[in-house]
Chains A and B, each alone.
Chain A
Amino acid sequence: MGIKVDKEKCVGCGRCADECPGDVIRMDRRRKLPYNKYKNDCWYCGVCEQECPTGAAKMEFPCLIV
Protein backbone atom coordinates (compact mmCIF):
# COMPACT_ATOMS: atom_id res chain seq x y z
CA MET A 1 0.00 0.00 0.00
CA GLY A 2 2.95 2.27 0.60
CA ILE A 3 3.06 5.33 2.76
CA LYS A 4 0.41 6.92 4.95
CA VAL A 5 1.19 10.50 5.86
CA ASP A 6 0.19 12.48 8.90
CA LYS A 7 -0.41 15.84 7.23
CA GLU A 8 -0.05 17.71 10.50
CA LYS A 9 3.47 16.43 11.01
CA CYS A 10 4.75 16.40 7.41
CA VAL A 11 7.13 19.22 6.52
CA GLY A 12 7.24 18.32 2.83
CA CYS A 13 10.95 17.57 2.78
CA GLY A 14 10.58 14.75 0.24
CA ARG A 15 13.01 12.33 1.85
CA CYS A 16 10.49 9.48 1.76
CA ALA A 17 10.08 9.96 -2.00
CA ASP A 18 13.83 10.36 -2.49
CA GLU A 19 14.69 7.11 -0.78
CA CYS A 20 11.80 4.65 -1.33
CA PRO A 21 13.63 1.81 -3.09
CA GLY A 22 10.55 0.88 -5.10
CA ASP A 23 9.89 4.38 -6.47
CA VAL A 24 6.43 3.98 -4.92
CA ILE A 25 6.29 7.52 -3.52
CA ARG A 26 6.36 10.82 -5.38
CA MET A 27 5.86 14.37 -4.17
CA ASP A 28 2.79 16.40 -5.03
CA ARG A 29 4.65 19.62 -5.67
CA ARG A 30 1.62 21.87 -5.34
CA ARG A 31 0.45 20.47 -2.01
CA LYS A 32 4.02 19.72 -0.83
CA LEU A 33 2.88 16.27 0.26
CA PRO A 34 4.04 12.78 -0.67
CA TYR A 35 1.57 10.39 -2.31
CA ASN A 36 1.63 6.76 -3.44
CA LYS A 37 2.09 6.83 -7.17
CA TYR A 38 2.73 3.09 -7.56
CA LYS A 39 1.15 1.68 -4.44
CA ASN A 40 1.30 -1.96 -5.48
CA ASP A 41 5.09 -1.84 -5.88
CA CYS A 42 5.62 -1.62 -2.12
CA TRP A 43 7.92 -4.16 -0.42
CA TYR A 44 6.81 -3.22 3.13
CA CYS A 45 10.44 -2.40 3.85
CA GLY A 46 9.69 0.65 6.01
CA VAL A 47 12.41 2.87 4.54
CA CYS A 48 9.87 5.71 4.21
CA GLU A 49 9.21 5.57 7.95
CA GLN A 50 12.86 5.44 8.79
CA GLU A 51 13.84 8.34 6.55
CA CYS A 52 11.09 10.65 7.74
CA PRO A 53 12.56 13.29 10.08
CA THR A 54 9.27 14.16 11.78
CA GLY A 55 7.53 10.82 12.25
CA ALA A 56 4.87 11.80 9.70
CA ALA A 57 5.39 8.76 7.44
CA LYS A 58 3.95 5.38 8.32
CA MET A 59 4.17 2.28 6.16
CA GLU A 60 0.70 0.88 5.59
CA PHE A 61 -0.06 -2.77 4.78
CA PRO A 62 -2.35 -3.32 1.80
CA CYS A 63 -5.84 -4.78 1.73
CA LEU A 64 -4.99 -8.47 1.29
CA ILE A 65 -2.60 -8.47 4.25
CA VAL A 66 -4.61 -6.64 6.89
Chain B
Amino acid sequence: MTAGAVAQASPATWDWDIAQRMMPELLRGLSVTLQATLVGITVAMVLGLVLAMARRSSLPVVRWPVVGFIEFVRSTPLLVQLFFLFFVLPDLGVRLSGFTAGVLGLGLHYATYTSEAYRSGIENVEKGQWEAAVACNLSTRTTWGSVVLPQAIPTVIPALGNYLVAMLKDAPLLSTIAVLELLAVARQLNSQLFRPLEAFSLAALLFLAVSIPAAILVRYLEKRYGYSRE
Protein backbone atom coordinates (compact mmCIF):
# COMPACT_ATOMS: atom_id res chain seq x y z
CA MET B 1 0.00 0.00 0.00
CA THR B 2 2.76 2.38 0.93
CA ALA B 3 4.70 1.45 -2.21
CA GLY B 4 1.75 2.48 -4.35
CA ALA B 5 1.40 5.77 -2.53
CA VAL B 6 5.08 6.53 -2.89
CA ALA B 7 4.82 6.14 -6.65
CA GLN B 8 2.26 8.91 -6.83
CA ALA B 9 2.89 12.54 -7.72
CA SER B 10 2.68 13.93 -4.20
CA PRO B 11 4.07 11.14 -2.08
CA ALA B 12 2.29 10.65 1.18
CA THR B 13 4.04 8.77 3.92
CA TRP B 14 2.37 7.25 6.92
CA ASP B 15 2.19 9.75 9.74
CA TRP B 16 1.86 8.10 13.15
CA ASP B 17 0.96 11.36 14.84
CA ILE B 18 -1.98 11.93 12.53
CA ALA B 19 -3.02 8.31 12.94
CA GLN B 20 -2.95 8.68 16.69
CA ARG B 21 -5.00 11.87 16.54
CA MET B 22 -7.61 10.16 14.39
CA MET B 23 -7.97 7.05 16.49
CA PRO B 24 -10.35 8.24 19.23
CA GLU B 25 -12.84 9.61 16.69
CA LEU B 26 -12.59 6.53 14.54
CA LEU B 27 -13.18 4.29 17.54
CA ARG B 28 -16.28 6.27 18.33
CA GLY B 29 -17.40 5.71 14.74
CA LEU B 30 -16.65 2.02 15.06
CA SER B 31 -18.75 1.86 18.18
CA VAL B 32 -21.70 3.40 16.30
CA THR B 33 -21.18 0.86 13.50
CA LEU B 34 -21.17 -1.98 15.98
CA GLN B 35 -24.25 -0.72 17.77
CA ALA B 36 -26.14 -0.31 14.52
CA THR B 37 -25.10 -3.81 13.42
CA LEU B 38 -25.98 -5.48 16.69
CA VAL B 39 -29.36 -3.81 17.01
CA GLY B 40 -29.96 -4.34 13.30
CA ILE B 41 -29.18 -8.07 13.39
CA THR B 42 -31.39 -8.46 16.45
CA VAL B 43 -34.28 -6.83 14.60
CA ALA B 44 -33.52 -9.03 11.58
CA MET B 45 -33.37 -12.21 13.65
CA VAL B 46 -36.62 -11.58 15.49
CA LEU B 47 -38.58 -10.14 12.58
CA GLY B 48 -37.26 -12.77 10.18
CA LEU B 49 -38.53 -15.51 12.45
CA VAL B 50 -41.93 -13.83 12.73
CA LEU B 51 -42.11 -13.50 8.94
CA ALA B 52 -41.11 -17.13 8.41
CA MET B 53 -43.74 -18.33 10.86
CA ALA B 54 -46.42 -16.02 9.45
CA ARG B 55 -45.66 -17.37 6.02
CA ARG B 56 -46.79 -20.79 7.20
CA SER B 57 -50.07 -19.49 8.56
CA SER B 58 -53.17 -21.28 7.38
CA LEU B 59 -54.80 -17.87 6.85
CA PRO B 60 -54.22 -16.31 3.41
CA VAL B 61 -54.79 -12.84 4.89
CA VAL B 62 -51.69 -13.37 6.98
CA ARG B 63 -49.66 -15.19 4.37
CA TRP B 64 -50.07 -12.91 1.38
CA PRO B 65 -49.06 -9.57 2.87
CA VAL B 66 -45.99 -11.26 4.31
CA VAL B 67 -45.00 -12.70 0.95
CA GLY B 68 -45.62 -9.31 -0.66
CA PHE B 69 -43.55 -7.49 1.92
CA ILE B 70 -40.65 -9.90 1.55
CA GLU B 71 -40.68 -9.67 -2.25
CA PHE B 72 -40.92 -5.90 -2.18
CA VAL B 73 -38.08 -5.39 0.27
CA ARG B 74 -35.82 -7.88 -1.47
CA SER B 75 -36.39 -6.28 -4.86
CA THR B 76 -35.33 -2.79 -3.83
CA PRO B 77 -31.86 -1.60 -2.76
CA LEU B 78 -31.16 -1.11 0.91
CA LEU B 79 -30.10 2.47 0.14
CA VAL B 80 -33.54 3.28 -1.24
CA GLN B 81 -35.14 1.84 1.87
CA LEU B 82 -32.88 3.94 4.09
CA PHE B 83 -33.76 7.10 2.15
CA PHE B 84 -37.42 6.23 2.40
CA LEU B 85 -37.27 5.76 6.15
CA PHE B 86 -35.17 8.88 6.71
CA PHE B 87 -36.42 11.37 4.11
CA VAL B 88 -39.96 10.25 3.21
CA LEU B 89 -41.40 9.15 6.53
CA PRO B 90 -41.08 12.66 8.04
CA ASP B 91 -43.44 13.88 5.31
CA LEU B 92 -45.89 11.26 6.53
CA GLY B 93 -45.48 12.51 10.07
CA VAL B 94 -42.99 9.95 11.35
CA ARG B 95 -39.67 11.51 12.20
CA LEU B 96 -36.89 9.06 12.94
CA SER B 97 -33.32 9.85 13.95
CA GLY B 98 -30.70 8.74 11.46
CA PHE B 99 -29.62 5.95 13.77
CA THR B 100 -33.17 4.68 14.30
CA ALA B 101 -33.98 4.84 10.60
CA GLY B 102 -30.69 3.12 9.81
CA VAL B 103 -31.13 0.32 12.29
CA LEU B 104 -34.70 -0.17 11.16
CA GLY B 105 -33.65 -0.23 7.52
CA LEU B 106 -30.88 -2.75 8.14
CA GLY B 107 -33.19 -4.84 10.30
CA LEU B 108 -36.11 -4.87 7.85
CA HIS B 109 -33.89 -5.51 4.86
CA TYR B 110 -32.01 -8.36 6.44
CA ALA B 111 -35.17 -9.79 8.01
CA THR B 112 -36.31 -10.76 4.54
CA TYR B 113 -33.10 -12.72 4.11
CA THR B 114 -33.10 -14.31 7.55
CA SER B 115 -36.74 -15.24 7.04
CA GLU B 116 -35.69 -17.33 4.03
CA ALA B 117 -33.03 -19.00 6.13
CA TYR B 118 -35.55 -19.73 8.89
CA ARG B 119 -37.97 -20.97 6.30
CA SER B 120 -35.63 -23.61 4.99
CA GLY B 121 -34.67 -24.52 8.56
CA ILE B 122 -38.35 -25.01 9.40
CA GLU B 123 -39.02 -26.97 6.24
CA ASN B 124 -36.15 -29.28 7.06
CA VAL B 125 -37.91 -30.40 10.23
CA GLU B 126 -39.58 -33.62 9.14
CA LYS B 127 -43.34 -33.62 8.79
CA GLY B 128 -43.59 -36.43 11.29
CA GLN B 129 -42.48 -34.05 14.03
CA TRP B 130 -45.59 -31.95 13.51
CA GLU B 131 -47.67 -35.10 13.49
CA ALA B 132 -46.11 -36.42 16.67
CA ALA B 133 -46.95 -33.05 18.23
CA VAL B 134 -50.59 -33.60 17.27
CA ALA B 135 -50.49 -37.11 18.73
CA CYS B 136 -49.25 -35.49 21.96
CA ASN B 137 -52.10 -32.99 21.60
CA LEU B 138 -49.73 -30.02 21.83
CA SER B 139 -51.04 -26.54 21.11
CA THR B 140 -49.75 -24.69 18.06
CA ARG B 141 -47.68 -22.54 20.34
CA THR B 142 -46.04 -25.46 22.12
CA THR B 143 -45.48 -27.23 18.81
CA TRP B 144 -43.49 -24.25 17.56
CA GLY B 145 -41.76 -23.52 20.81
CA SER B 146 -40.90 -27.00 22.06
CA VAL B 147 -40.75 -29.14 18.94
CA VAL B 148 -40.17 -27.28 15.68
CA LEU B 149 -38.03 -24.23 16.47
CA PRO B 150 -35.56 -26.05 18.74
CA GLN B 151 -34.83 -28.31 15.76
CA ALA B 152 -34.94 -25.61 13.09
CA ILE B 153 -32.95 -22.81 14.68
CA PRO B 154 -29.61 -24.56 15.20
CA THR B 155 -29.47 -25.27 11.48
CA VAL B 156 -30.07 -21.58 10.75
CA ILE B 157 -27.38 -20.19 13.05
CA PRO B 158 -24.51 -20.30 10.51
CA ALA B 159 -26.63 -18.39 7.98
CA LEU B 160 -27.49 -15.80 10.61
CA GLY B 161 -23.80 -15.41 11.33
CA ASN B 162 -23.13 -14.75 7.65
CA TYR B 163 -25.81 -12.07 7.61
CA LEU B 164 -24.22 -10.48 10.65
CA VAL B 165 -20.95 -10.10 8.78
CA ALA B 166 -22.73 -8.85 5.65
CA MET B 167 -24.66 -6.30 7.68
CA LEU B 168 -21.50 -5.02 9.29
CA LYS B 169 -20.20 -4.29 5.81
CA ASP B 170 -23.46 -2.59 4.80
CA ALA B 171 -23.42 -0.33 7.83
CA PRO B 172 -21.44 2.42 6.00
CA LEU B 173 -24.59 3.05 3.96
CA LEU B 174 -25.91 4.68 7.11
CA SER B 175 -23.46 7.50 6.53
CA THR B 176 -25.84 8.70 3.80
CA ILE B 177 -28.54 9.38 6.37
CA ALA B 178 -26.43 11.38 8.80
CA VAL B 179 -25.25 8.55 11.01
CA LEU B 180 -21.68 9.06 12.16
CA GLU B 181 -20.56 5.48 11.77
CA LEU B 182 -17.01 4.48 11.04
CA LEU B 183 -16.79 5.43 7.37
CA ALA B 184 -18.57 8.75 7.91
CA VAL B 185 -16.06 9.61 10.61
CA ALA B 186 -13.19 8.69 8.30
CA ARG B 187 -14.54 10.98 5.60
CA GLN B 188 -14.99 13.78 8.08
CA LEU B 189 -11.43 13.40 9.34
CA ASN B 190 -10.15 13.35 5.80
CA SER B 191 -11.86 16.58 4.91
CA GLN B 192 -10.58 18.23 8.09
CA LEU B 193 -6.99 17.01 7.93
CA PHE B 194 -6.54 16.13 4.25
CA ARG B 195 -5.03 12.81 5.18
CA PRO B 196 -6.91 10.13 3.19
CA LEU B 197 -4.12 7.60 3.70
CA GLU B 198 -4.43 7.44 7.47
CA ALA B 199 -8.19 8.06 7.63
CA PHE B 200 -9.27 5.33 5.23
CA SER B 201 -6.53 2.84 6.01
CA LEU B 202 -7.39 2.98 9.66
CA ALA B 203 -11.09 2.68 8.87
CA ALA B 204 -10.39 -0.40 6.76
CA LEU B 205 -8.23 -1.90 9.50
CA LEU B 206 -10.92 -1.33 12.08
CA PHE B 207 -13.50 -3.02 9.86
CA LEU B 208 -11.11 -5.93 9.47
CA ALA B 209 -10.49 -6.08 13.19
CA VAL B 210 -14.18 -6.73 13.69
CA SER B 211 -15.11 -8.75 10.63
CA ILE B 212 -12.29 -11.26 10.86
CA PRO B 213 -13.21 -12.42 14.37
CA ALA B 214 -16.85 -12.41 13.25
CA ALA B 215 -16.00 -14.61 10.28
CA ILE B 216 -14.09 -16.97 12.57
CA LEU B 217 -17.13 -17.10 14.81
CA VAL B 218 -19.30 -17.99 11.82
CA ARG B 219 -16.90 -20.74 10.79
CA TYR B 220 -17.07 -22.10 14.32
CA LEU B 221 -20.88 -21.94 14.30
CA GLU B 222 -20.93 -23.78 11.00
CA LYS B 223 -18.84 -26.55 12.48
CA ARG B 224 -20.95 -26.67 15.59
CA TYR B 225 -24.41 -26.46 14.03
CA GLY B 226 -23.92 -26.76 10.28
CA TYR B 227 -24.86 -30.40 10.16
CA SER B 228 -27.04 -32.45 12.42
CA ARG B 229 -25.74 -33.06 15.89
CA GLU B 230 -26.64 -36.72 15.76
A, B bound: no
Q: Chain A: residues with CB nearer than 8 A to chain B?
A: none
